[in-house]
C-alpha cells in the first residue's frame, strides 16, 4: 500500500480521503533534517505553508510521486527540482479564494476605520473617539494588482461598495477587466492614482519588491496598501520608512518577507499599520476545501489518474481533461510506437495535429507524445511532469504543426521521428471517441489497433512472403492474433503489421530478416 506523509496540520476530512488508498502518517513537528531522513519511505507528501520542501528533501524522496500543498501558492516547494525528478506538485488554487479575498477586504476596512487600535483603546478603559476618525472607501479609487480569482472577487465586492476600480494584470485582456468593472492601466498610473492598492499576485523575480522606495514615492500621501498575497512583494524597510515619514497613509499586511515576523519597525507604527499572522486562508470553510481538494488529487495520482491542479504540468479543468484524455493516450501510444521504430537516438520529433484537436490546447498532447517517445528508454523515470525536460536534455528538437482542415476523422495525430538510424512516421486516430487505430506507417495506409506485442516488416509485395513469415513465427511457437498489409502499388514495397500473443523470442528477428523480400523488420512492445 502507498504511504503518505502529512507534515503540516490538515483537516481530518483530507486525512480520511487519503486513508482510502494509502497508509497515512501525520507528523507535524519534523525538523528539516528529520524530514530528509524519513521522506524516502513515502510515495506522497502533503503540506501547508509550514514545511519547506527543498531540493535536499526532493533528492531524498526516492519514491515520491506527488507533493500536495493545501493552499494556493507553492513558494515553499522547490518546483524546478521536483520537476526534474518527475515529481508532480499540486495545490488548491480555488479552495481558499473567498477566504483570501474577504480577508483583504476586511484588512482594507480595518485600516480605514482604525478598528484594531480602537479595540485595544476601549479594552484599556479609554474612550478616545477623536483619535480614531477614519475615512470612507465609497467613491475612492482601488488599484487591484493582479486580477486572478482572488483579485477579481475583491474587485467585485469593492465595486458593489461604490469604489472606482483600476487594475494591472499583464495576462488579462482589457475586455475581461471591463467585465469586472475595472479600467486596465499600467502599473505606474495605478500607483499614482489609487487611494487604496491591494496586491493579488505571486512572488516571482519580477514581482519581488514590486513596492519599493521608488514606487512608494510616486503614490498619494494618503494611499493605503493591502498585501494578503505573498511576502516579499513589498520592501518592508522602504514601507516602514515611507509610513514613518508620512509619505503614505497606511498599510495592512498579512504576509511578510520572513515568517513568523521578527523584530520589525512595522510593529511600532501605531494605528497606520494593521498586521495579521498570515490569516488569509484561515477560515473553517477554506481549511476544509483545500484539504479535500489536495487530498483528492493525491489519491487520484496514487491510483494512476491525472491531477487537476498540477503546477508543473499544463493545468486543465476536469471538464477539458475528460475530453482530452483519449487524445493524450493516442499521443502517448503513437510516440512510443514511432520511438521504437526509429530506434537509436532521436534528434527531431514532428507532431502534426489534424482536425478538431488542431484548434485546441496542444501542450498536453505534445507532452504526452514526448512521454511515449522516451518511455521505452527511460521507463518509470519519464512522466508527464519531466518529459519535456528529458527531451530537451537529450537535444530532441520538437516541431509542432497544425492542420484543422483535415476532416477524414474528427481528429488525428501524425508523428515523425528522425534519428541517427533514419526516419519513421506514424498516424493515428480515435474511433468512436476512444478506440485507437494506427492508420499510416511511413506513408503506407493501414488500419490497426495497437496491441502489446507487434511485429512490423517492410518487404517487397510478392507472392508467398506472408506465408513464409507465418510459418517462421509458428516454428518459434509465436501465435499471430491479427495481420494486415499496407501497400501503395501492386508488386512494390509494402508494410506488414502483425499483432502477436507473445513477445518475439531471442534470435527470431534475425531469421525474419533472412527471408527473401524482407527489407527491414521491427519489434514493438507497448
Query: How many residues are there in the chain?
Result: 526
Contact 365, 333 (CB under 8 A): no
Supply the DSSP string of 319-376, one letter for each residue: HHHHHHHHHHHHHHHHHHHHHHHH-S-EEEEEEEEEEGGGGS--HHHHHHHHHHHHHH
The pTM for the full model equals 0.61
Write down the CATH number for the domain with range 3-94+286-302: 3.40.50.720
For domain 451-526, give its CATH number from 2.60.40.420, 3.30.70.260, 1.10.287.130, 3.30.420.40: 3.30.70.260
- Give the per-residue pLDDT at 407: 56
Q: pLDDT truncated to tens, each residue of the chain (526 aa)?
A: 999 999 999 999 999 999 999 999 999 989 999 999 999 999 999 999 889 999 999 999 999 999 999 987 788 999 888 988 889 999 987 788 899 999 999 999 999 999 999 999 999 999 999 999 999 999 999 999 999 889 999 999 999 999 999 999 886 778 889 999 999 999 999 999 999 999 999 887 789 999 999 999 999 999 999 999 999 999 999 999 999 999 999 999 999 999 999 999 999 999 999 999 999 988 999 999 999 999 999 999 999 887 877 878 655 555 566 677 788 889 999 999 999 898 878 889 999 998 877 877 788 889 889 989 988 766 555 777 778 877 887 788 999 998 866 556 667 899 999 987 889 999 999 887 778 999 999 999 999 999 999 999 999 988 988 899 999 999 889 999 999 999 888 888 999 999 999 888 888 888 999 999 999 988 888 8
Q: Annotated catalytic sites, by residue?
A: 230, 259, 278
Kindly report the three-state secondary structure assignment for every residue of 30-89.
CCHHHHHHHHHHCCEEEECCCCCECHHHHHHCCCCCEEEECCCCCCCECHHHHHHCCCEE
Dihedral of alpha carbons 230, 235, 240, 243, sign: negative
CA distance 104 to 108: 6
CATH topology of domain 97-275: Rossmann fold (3.40.50)
Domain extents in the chain: 3-94+286-302, 97-275, 315-450, 451-526
Number of neighbours of residue 465 by Cβ within 10 angstroms = 19
- Give the per-residue pLDDT at 428: 93
- Give the per-residue pLDDT at 435: 87
Cell output for 160 = 458593489
Q: Please give the CATH superfamily to which domain 315-450 belongs.
A: D-3-phosphoglycerate dehydrogenase; domain 3 (3.30.1330.90)
**Which contacts (CB < 8 Å, 24+ apart) does range 403-407 have?**
403/352, 403/353, 403/354, 403/355, 403/358, 404/354, 404/355, 404/356, 404/358, 404/359, 406/354, 406/355, 406/358, 407/355
| Residue 86 neighbours by CB under 8 Å, 6+ apart | 381, 382, 383, 385, 386
Domains 97-275 and 451-526 share a fold: no
SS3 128: coil
SS3 13: helix
Amino acid at each position: 500500500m502507498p504511504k503518505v506523509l502529512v507534515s503540516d496540520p490538515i483537516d481530518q476530512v483530507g486525512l480520511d480521503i487519503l486513508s482510502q488508498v494509502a497508509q497515512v502518517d501525520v507528523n507535524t513537528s519534523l525538523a528539516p533534517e528529520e524530514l530528509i531522513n524519513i521522506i524516502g519511505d513515502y510515495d506522497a507528501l502533503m503540506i501547508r505553508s509550514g514545511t519547506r520542501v527543498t531540493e535536499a528533501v526532493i533528492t531524498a524522496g526516492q519514491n515520491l510521486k506527488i507533493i500536495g500543498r493545501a493552499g494556493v501558492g507553492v513558494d515553499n516547494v522547490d518546483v524546478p527540482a521536483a520537476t526534474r525528478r518527475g515529481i508532480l506538485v499540486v495545490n488548491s488554487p480555488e479552495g481558499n479564494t473567498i477566504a483570501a479575498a474577504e480577508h483583504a477586504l476586511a484588512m482594507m476596512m480595518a485600516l480605514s476605520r482604525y478598528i484594531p487600535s480602537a479595540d485595544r483603546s476601549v479594552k484599556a478603559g479609554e474612550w478616545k473617539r477623536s483619535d480614531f476618525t477614519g475615512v470612507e472607501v465609497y467613491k475612492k479609487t482601488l488599484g487591484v494588482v493582479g486580477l486572478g480569482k482572488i483579485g477579481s472577487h475583491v474587485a467585485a465586492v469593492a465595486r458593489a461598495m461604490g469604489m472606482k476600480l483600476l487594475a494591472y494584470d499583464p495576462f488579462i485582456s482589457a475586455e475581461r477587466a471591463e467585465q469586472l468593472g475595472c479600467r486596465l492601466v499600467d502599473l505606474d498610473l495605478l500607483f499614482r492614482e489609487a487611494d487604496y492598492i491591494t496586491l493579488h499576485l505571486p512572488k516571482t523575480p519580477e514581482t519581488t519588491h514590486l513596492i519599493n522606495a521608488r514606487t512608494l514615492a510616486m503614490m498619494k500621501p494618503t494611499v493605503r496598501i493591502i498585501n494578503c498575497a505573498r511576502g516579499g512583494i513589498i520592501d518592508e524597510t522602504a514601507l516602514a520608512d515611507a509610513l514613518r515619514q508620512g509619505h503614505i497613509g497606511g498599510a495592512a499586511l498579512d504576509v511578510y518577507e520572513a515568517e513568523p515576523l521578527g523584530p520589525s519597525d512595522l510593529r511600532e507604527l501605531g494605528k497606520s499599520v494593521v498586521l495579521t499572522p498570515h490569516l488569509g486562508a484561515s477560515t473553517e470553510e477554506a481549511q476544509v476545501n483545500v484539504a479535500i481538494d489536495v487530498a483528492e488529487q493525491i489519491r487520484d495520482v496514487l491510483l494512476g489518474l491525472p491531477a487537476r491542479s498540477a503546477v508543473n504540468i499544463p493545468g486543465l479543468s476536469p471538464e477539458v481533461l475528460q475530453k482530452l484524455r483519449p487524445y493524450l493516450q493516442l499521443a502517448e501510444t503513437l510516440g512510443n510506437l514511432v520511438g521504437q521504430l526509429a530506434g537509436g537516438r532521436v534528434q527531431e520529433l514532428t507532431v502534426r495535429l489534424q482536425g478538431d484537436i488542431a484548434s485546441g490546447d496542444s501542450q498536453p498532447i505534445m507532452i504526452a507524445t514526448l512521454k511515449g517517445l522516451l518511455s521505452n528508454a527511460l521507463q518509470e523515470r519519464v512522466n508527464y511532469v519531466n518529459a519535456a525536460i528529458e527531451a530537451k536534455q537529450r537535444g530532441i528538437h520538437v516541431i509542432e504543426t497544425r492542420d484543422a482542415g483535415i476532416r477524414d476523422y474528427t481528429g488525428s495525430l501524425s508523428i515523425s521521428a528522425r534519428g541517427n538510424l533514419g526516419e519513421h512516421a506514424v498516424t493515428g486516430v480515435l474511433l468512436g471517441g476512444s478506440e485507437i487505430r494506427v492508420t499510416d506507417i511511413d506513408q503506407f495506409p493501414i488500419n490497426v489497433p495497437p496491441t502489446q506485442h507487434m511485429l512490423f516488416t517492410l518487404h517487397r509485395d510478392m507472392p508467398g512472403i506472408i506465408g513464409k513469415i507465418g510459418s517462421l513465427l509458428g516454428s518459434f511457437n509465436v501465435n499471430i492474433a491479427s495481420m494486415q498489409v499496407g501497400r501503395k502499388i501492386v508488386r512494390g514495397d509494402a508494410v506488414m503489421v502483425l499483432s502477436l500473443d507473445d513477445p518475439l523470442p531471442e534470435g527470431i528477428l534475425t531469421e525474419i530478416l533472412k527471408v527473401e523480400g524482407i527489407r527491414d523488420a521491427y519489434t514493438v512492445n507497448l
